[in-house]
Structure 1
Amino acid sequence: MSADFWAGYTSGAVGILIGNPLDLVKTRLQAGNAAPQTEPTGAVIGPARAAPQSFRQHFDRAGTLVKGTTAPLLGYGALNAILFMTYNRTLTFFNDSPELPTSLAKVWCAGAAGGLASFVVSAPTELIKCRAQVSTDHATSSWTIVRDVWKREGIRGLYYGGGITSIRDAYGYGWFFWTYEWSKQAVSSPTDTDRETAIKVLLCGGLAGVVTWASIFPLDVVKTRVQTQLINAPLYREGERETLLQHQAHGKRLSTLQVAQKAYQAEGAGVFFRGLGICSIRAFVVNAVQWAVYEWMMRLLRQT
């Protein structure tokens, strides 16, 4: 495999290990006021009566800190590898240099191409991660969710919500690479020391993460709610509050547009930005580290 593949894989895995606790909070906030309960087999059987209401309750036990980590740890390593490899190849195809691109428009298009290519991995990984994170059953793992989804729906079930995931990834990663290259070119100087270069990579990487998530957050909220809809969930008793994790009619799932409409009708425009604060903190830290690891790995592998 090429240097950018392994550099991307390593940086993606490191980012997940660092960012998973905050990502768990973000996913639970996005999912709404109820989280699905599951059997030990991973089968989703119904909504919890009350979702965690405080930051502390999101971490009700030590295992919660790494809940839903397995799938993204494996998946996002592969996702990052595909992302960076596709980005570099696309930029080269556009007759530009991945090391020092001259056209930010080409950078955005190459980033969007990388995001679209990574959908193959990101769609099932996101579905498994989100369902594991909103589950209140501590026995539920990524593997039990995969097994249950595969048994019920096959490979098609793992790509549920794939349409909005692909749009989110293509649009978001376009801005991800654009922001990183724009900010790096703006602050870099030929006289920078190694220490100054490393600090600027961290800052530019963190900024790229924040801009990316700010640009796609409403899409991500809808994606999370689409992917965490319940299967054969019983309706609440009369008088209890209806949530977006319930099926609305005849046990059928809502479409992406219906989920967005119901979210807006029930909770207003603010629902599309719920969790953005914690996500921005996570995005800065994770992407600063990811870009630093990627740049370091690329230099290391080019020397060997």
Structure 2
Amino acid sequence: MSARMEGDDHSYSYSATTIRNGLISGYTAGICGIVIGHPLDSLKVLLQTANAGPTNPSSASGSGVRVGAKVVNSSNFVISRASSTAAAAAVSTRPSSVQTSNIIPAGKRSLTSLYAGVTGPLLTVGLIQSINFAVYDSVRRVLYERQLRRENDSGVVLVNCLPDDYLHYDDLQNVAVASFISGGATSFLTSPVTMVKTKQQIMQWSFRKAIQDTWSRGNSKLKLQNFYTGFGIHFCCDAFGRSLYMFTYEYLKRSMSERQHVDVDSNSASPANLSIPQRMICAASAGMTCWAFIYPADVIRSRLYSQSLNSQSLPTTMDGIRLAQQMVRETGYQSLYRGMPISVARAGPVAAAILPVYDYMLDMIS
């Protein structure tokens, strides 16, 4: 798209240069977030999955097993599927793939061990974040150009337009839509990374071991789908979470900017003039708000990944929904918020690093 507003020398649509800028900014921000936030992310996963699996199917008690249908072990909230013959074969021929006694509790882990699983994110998250922010920036540009066309058709006079105006004056609904699209698009890339990372954090496996374990699961010939266990829940975390995350960040920046200046029409009231500490406050608040909202879904996602450690029949999104219902019936809604303080504490500094770094890099190289 290369349309320009009448009487305006600037186009807000994406180009090779703007995509490059988004990639570089996103990559830098993604690496900063991983280095700062991975230890707290490990603590979050360990708390979410503590005493919840993985379990050895050969030792499942009869009280929680129903052959030929869904198998529910209520004590550990384990949901799997097997026919009577498949279940018998699994018990008699396949040894336990996970020894739960080898899982070191969160409180006894060293700082170095809390970086277990960082290899995959370091190799991939920078690239994924760069794609995410590049898509986000491009969609925002397109939506803002359409916004200007609507305003122009309604008789709004636009003066002193600048190429980066879309970053500060687009509708917040544009921000929500653009971030939802970018988060949903990259969820297909982040699902394998998140699953492998979670297994590494729980078992302290190497990157290669976690990939091999995931690849060996399931009975399907299409082994790639093993890396998309419970993908529907993962998609919701990434797409809806990203939308709320970026929407809140932009809303807080604009609110803070307007409170600082009486004349909100002045250029001095632009969010572009906020200091780095002010941006960090807005970003930390946005990250904590986002995680408080999506945390129950993230708990279910971690539980599903934990269950997949010891099951040849991989859990699905519907299994995740049934798991959530089972958890609420057994221990109440608080079970969906286990480890939430760690997650919220992690979200603050990580977001405070990622979003201001992204803003700064994008402004510097544009």
TM-score > 0.5 by shorter chain: yes
1:114 to 182, 191, 201: 182
Structure 2 residue 270 is the aligned partner of structure 1 residue 206: no
TM-score, L = length of structure 2: 0.69
Are 1:24 and 2:70 matched, yes or no? no
Q: Which secondary structure does the structure 1 equivalent of 2:97 belong to?
A: strand
For residues 145 and 252 of structure 1, the distance between their equivalents in structure 2, rounded to whole angstroms, comes to 15
Give the number of equivalent residue pairs: 276
Alpha-carbon shift at residue 51 of structure 1 (Å):
6.2
Higher Cα Rg: structure 1 or 2?
A: 2
- Corresponding residue to 2:131 among 57, 82, 97: 82
What pairs with 1:123-162 in structure 2 (closer than 5 Å)? 123-135=191-203, 138=204, 140-152=205-217, 154-162=223-231
Distance 2:48 2:125 in 1: 20
CA distance in 2, matches of 1:129, 1:271: 22
**Structure 2: stretches of 5+ with no match in the other structure:** 1-18, 57-94, 146-164, 261-267
What residue number does 1:241 align with? none
Are 2:233 and 1:164 aligned?
A: yes
Matches within 5 A, 1:4-43: 4-34=22-52, 36=54
Is 1:68 the counterpart of 2:137? The answer is: no
Taking the aligned partners of 2:139 and 2:118, their CA distance within structure 1 comes to: 30
CA 1:93/1:191 → structure 2, altered by over 3 Å: closer, same or farther?
closer
Q: Is the 8 A contact 2:253 2:271 kept in 1?
A: no
1:196 Cα offset (Å): 5.7
Q: Distance in 2 between matches of 1:263 and 1:37?
A: 16
Distance 2:284 2:133 in 1: 17
Q: Report 1:247-258 matches (<5 A).
A: 253=315, 255-258=319-322
State which of 284, 291, 298 in structure 1 corresponds to 2:355: 291
Cα distance, 1:101–1:161 mapped onto 2, change above 3 Å: farther
Is 2:214–2:226's contact at 8 Å kept on the other side of the alignment?
yes
> Which consecutive segments of 4 or more residues in structure 1 shift more than 6 A?
191-195
Corresponding residue SS for 2:40: helix
Q: Equivalent residue for 1:48?
A: 100
Q: Say if 2:37 and 2:350, in contact at 8 Å, map to a contact too.
A: yes
